[in-house]
Structure 1
Amino acid sequence: MATQIFVNIASDDLERAKAFYTALGCEINPLFTDENAACVVWDEQVFFMVLTREYFATFTDRPVADARATAQVLIALSRESREAVDAIVDAGIAAGGREPKPPQDLGFMYSRDLEDPDGNIMEFLYMDPAAAEQGPEAFEG
């Protein structure tokens, strides 16, 4: 079995979070979704467990960060093209998210950040296949 990634994030409004992530093209797995949590399926290997802030707090003895005020993690997800990066960020903005900084175009890599309504930040990026395999210098040469 391949490694699967489950990213736990807190939400103040689980229904709003589910609507936001389905607007990005994700599905909600009903087998692992209830009034405390929603399993957001990106693909067969990557999942977000969106937890109510109160439920999230049961998994740690540390204070739960307010993602609108502090950054604890930045989640980066690759896309298959620059157009796919633009499409998912634009869909997120239309669904109530915001773009906290301008797009970044390094030539070999293009990325845009998207903040969900709870303040969690995702970076969507496309990297030229030559740069991904051989490093940024390969793209320049």
Structure 2
Amino acid sequence: MNKSVIFNLPVREMEKSRAFFSALGFTFRQEFCSEEAAFMNIAGDTVQAMLMTEPFFRSLTNKPVVRAQEGNEVIICLSCESRAEVDSLIARALAAGATTPHPPEDEGFMYHQGFEDIDGHLWNLVWVAPQD
């Protein structure tokens, strides 16, 4: 059975969030987009996210929505095919308004760096050396 991961993220301003993630090269499935939500492809049909305005996100849960600038529940980690891809995505994220919580970390077999998107969600980009 083919499975995919789809996670939901609350965002403050839909258009700004769509512009931010488009600058990183992510695409949107227009048939599943509205003023309240946008279905984003991250890794083809395998990893996707539904960006939701905070009011719409709140309508789906009885729990308070955590502002990602104030607290954190998850760090979204994406694998990259090379160190260059990590650096390229970080550069595009910064150009689109992200910040980086720490400099790149090179552990020889693994290279990674994270960014905080415009809504405060944490993302980590990682390249792991192929095993021979």
The number of residues matched between the two structures is 131
Report the RMSD for the aligned CA atoms in angstroms: 1.1
Structure having the higher Rg: 1
The aligned counterpart of 1:57 is: 58
Identity %: 34
User: In structure 1, what residue type is equivalent to 2:36?
Assistant: N
Matches within 5 A, 1:62-81: 62-81=63-82
CA distance in 2, matches of 1:10, 1:89: 21
The aligned counterpart of 1:125 is: 126
Large movers: runs of 4+ above 2 Å: none
The aligned counterpart of 1:41 is: 41
CA distance in 2, matches of 1:9, 1:52: 8
TM-score norm. by structure 2 comes to 0.96
The aligned counterpart of 2:3 is: 3
CA distance in 2, matches of 1:20, 1:127: 26
**C-alpha deviation, 1:50, in angstroms:** 0.6
CA distance in 1, matches of 2:7, 2:103: 25
CA distance in 1, matches of 2:117, 2:33: 19
CA distance in 1, matches of 2:111, 2:79: 10
The aligned counterpart of 1:100 is: 101
- Residues 5-41 of structure 1: CA deviation (Å, up to 9, x unaligned): 1011110010000000000001111011001001111
User: In structure 1, what residue type is equivalent to 2:31?
Assistant: L
**C-alpha deviation, 1:44, in angstroms:** 1.8
Q: Which has the higher helix share?
A: 1
**C-alpha deviation, 1:60, in angstroms:** 1.2
Unaligned segments of structure 2, at least 5 residues? none
The aligned counterpart of 2:22 is: 22
Unaligned segments of structure 1, at least 5 residues? 134-141
Q: Secondary structure at the match of 1:84?
A: helix
CA distance in 1, matches of 2:55, 2:101: 26
User: In structure 1, what residue type is equivalent to 2:55?
Assistant: E
